[in-house]
Amino acid sequence: MLDRNRQHQIAGPGHGQALSPDLYYDGAQNYSSYGRDYSEQDEGFNPLRLLFYVVQYRWLIVMMAAAGLVAGIVVTMMQTPKYLATTQLEVLVPSAKVFQDIEVVSESSDLRAFQTAREKLKSRALAQRVVFQLGLSEKPDFLFPTPNFSLSNIFYRAFGISKSPSIEEKTPEERERIAIGRVMNDLTVTLVTNTSLLSIAFADQNPKYASDIANQVAQSFIDQRLDQTSETSDLARQFIQEQVLQVKQKLQKSEEELVAYAKDAGITITGDEKSLIGSNIETLNTALATAIQERLDAGRMVDQIDKGRGSSLGPVLESEGLQKITDKLADLTSQYQQKLGILKPGFPEMQQLQAQIKELQRLYNNGVLTITDSLRQKYQEAQNKEADLKSKLAEMEKQQVIFNDKNIKYTILKREVDSNRSQYDNLIAKLNEVGVSSELKTQSAAIVDFATQPNNPYSPRLSINLAVALALFLALSASIIYIIELLNNTFTNPEQIEKELGLAMLG
């Protein structure tokens, strides 16, 4: 082949004489084919020349194209599939009416309301609310997703497995911060042109998370607005009324359960919140204390009787019959002593006095014995009464133990009744506090379309990756061909001689 850089070696049309450089340039400048210079022919796009290069480097182009297809597939396999779910939220901007001192104040709105709603949907406070309501801080696969682009993804996708991350190494605050960051980063909120609709889109590797979070963001936005105006709006009143109805039903049900259980268990409660058994035990304790005191008093008298001091007891001394006998006995004894100085004991009169004294003494002793016997009987009755009360008290205490066992469930049911009643009273009080002087606002947003769980990932797209990779590798092959041709300084066919040197071929 001829070297395009060694033009002086090219022979002219003569008998093998060499063509000088001056003659070459003169011939190259003056030579023309069909009245047109080759310099003019080289200008512009030449499809035949391009086809020539394609055919010449066809294997290089084919290999680069195949490499591009393989690279596109590999890149697709290295990317983690992501699913996109979209919720449509309509922002309602009615004019709010405030009734205050019979004056109506209207609140105007403009496009800023939609921009404000958009920024609130992207706020950290709303993301934190979504994380709390869905419990995202406790879901490892959401906190630590698979890398978006990694060689390990090829292995995971090829064998259909996934990593099992652990959340034990992170504190609850760190997990919450990570979850909030993920919600904020993967959330997209756009305003649909010429409408009052906001498109809420969320992308995640898990299709269920994508749809749940998109829907929850919209619902949390509505709930957030309701929380801000729940105390003064009609919706708050309706919500409280529904809660009152629910709590009232719960209260009635809990009271019925309490009464039914008390009836089945035989539990009777007095008006002062005490059981009938407890009241009986208190009564028995009081009666037992009285019986013990009576038994002790009677016991002290019996002790005096046993010691031979029965005649000195109070009941004996207080007896009117014995007092008369004692007086008469003292009188006869005094007469006997007076007459004893005159008469001898054997005289009939003296013997008659002695007989009367003995009879009175016998009557007195019998009277004392009767009283002491009654005191002993009273003491025995006191003992029997005390024993009977102790027996009844022991029986009541056994019943109290059984009652306490039954009272455990009764107390639980009673506590539930009290709790429901307290909730009911609080709700009634709160319902009464809602007055007509509050600011009345309607619902500020409504969900038009809920996000459905996507079936196919929106990223990666194999067709797009293949197209991009094929284009890049074809461009790379074109660059390689251009460099090869730039470095190539030889003529491969006669046409190149005519183009490059402007000389006609002979023979």
| C-beta of residue 453 within 8 angstroms of C-beta of residue 75 | no
Q: What is the distance between the alpha carbons of residues 69 and 75, in angstroms, rounded to a whole number?
A: 10
Q: What is the distance between the alpha carbons of residues 158 and 161, in angstroms, rounded to a whole number?
A: 8
Whether 154 has a pLDDT exceeding 70, the answer reads: no
The pLDDT score that the predictor gives to residue 105 is 45
pLDDT-derived band at 382 (thresholds 50, 70, 90) equals confident
| Omega within 30 of 0 (cis) for the link into 460 | yes
Of 87-96, 193-202, 220-229, which has the strongest mean pLDDT?
193-202
Q: Is 277 exposed, middle or buried (0-12, 13-18, 19+ CB in 10 A)?
A: buried
Average pLDDT over residues 248-267: 83
Q: What is the distance between the alpha carbons of residues 162 and 332, in angstroms, rounded to a whole number?
A: 127
**Cα Dmax for the chain:** 220
The pLDDT score that the predictor gives to residue 87 is 94
The pLDDT score that the predictor gives to residue 190 is 92
Whether 317 has a pLDDT exceeding 80, the answer reads: no
For 6, 304, 361, the CA distances from 2, given in Å and listed in that order, are 8, 161, 180
218 phi, psi to nearest 5 deg: -65, -45
Q: What is the distance between the alpha carbons of residues 77 and 484, in angstroms, rounded to a whole number?
A: 33
Q: What is the distance between the alpha carbons of residues 193 and 117, in angstroms, rounded to a whole number?
A: 15
For 96, 116, 440, 443, 447, the CA distances from 109, given in Å and listed in that order, are 10, 11, 16, 15, 20
pLDDT-derived band at 293 (thresholds 50, 70, 90) equals confident
492 phi, psi to nearest 5 deg: -105, -15
Q: Is 170 exposed, middle or buried (0-12, 13-18, 19+ CB in 10 A)?
A: middle
Radius of gyration of the CA atoms of the chain, in A: 59
Altogether, the residues listed in the chain come to a count of: 507
pTM here?
0.42
Q: Lowest-pLDDT range, 302-316, 431-445, 493-507?
A: 431-445
Residue 493 tokens, joined: 């066919």
CA-closest candidate to residue 250, choices 414, 416, 409:
416
Whether 255 has a pLDDT exceeding 70, the answer reads: yes
Mean pLDDT of the chain: 73
Q: What is the distance between the alpha carbons of residues 224 and 126, in angstroms, rounded to a whole number?
A: 8
Within 8 A by CB and 6+ apart from 503, the residues are 10, 24, 27, 28, 31, 497
- The DSSP call for residue 450 is P
Q: What is the DSSP string of 119-152?
A: HHHTSHHHHHHHHHHHTGGG-HHHHSPPPSB-TH
On the CB side of 164, CA atoms within 13 Å amount to 1
Query: Any bridge partners for residue 97, and if so which?
Result: 106, 440
467 phi, psi to nearest 5 deg: -65, -45
Tens digit of pLDDT for each residue in 461-493? 677 778 887 888 888 878 887 887 777 666 666
The pLDDT score that the predictor gives to residue 163 is 56
Element (H, E) at 448: strand 445-449
CB atoms within 10 A of CB 364: 19
Edge to edge, the sheet with strand 103-106 lists 103-106, 97-100, 439-440
pLDDT-derived band at 180 (thresholds 50, 70, 90) equals very high
Residue 381 tokens, joined: 């009755």
Q: Lowest-pLDDT range, 66-70, 71-75, 181-185?
A: 71-75
Residue 207 tokens, joined: 């299709």
pLDDT-derived band at 37 (thresholds 50, 70, 90) equals very low
Alpha helices in 266-347 (DSSP H): 276-306, 314-317, 320-340
Q: Determine the residue type at 452.
A: T
Q: What is the distance between the alpha carbons of residues 168 and 473, in angstroms, rounded to a whole number?
A: 46
Place of tokens 């396999």: 77
Residue 252 tokens, joined: 């009635």
The pLDDT score that the predictor gives to residue 189 is 93
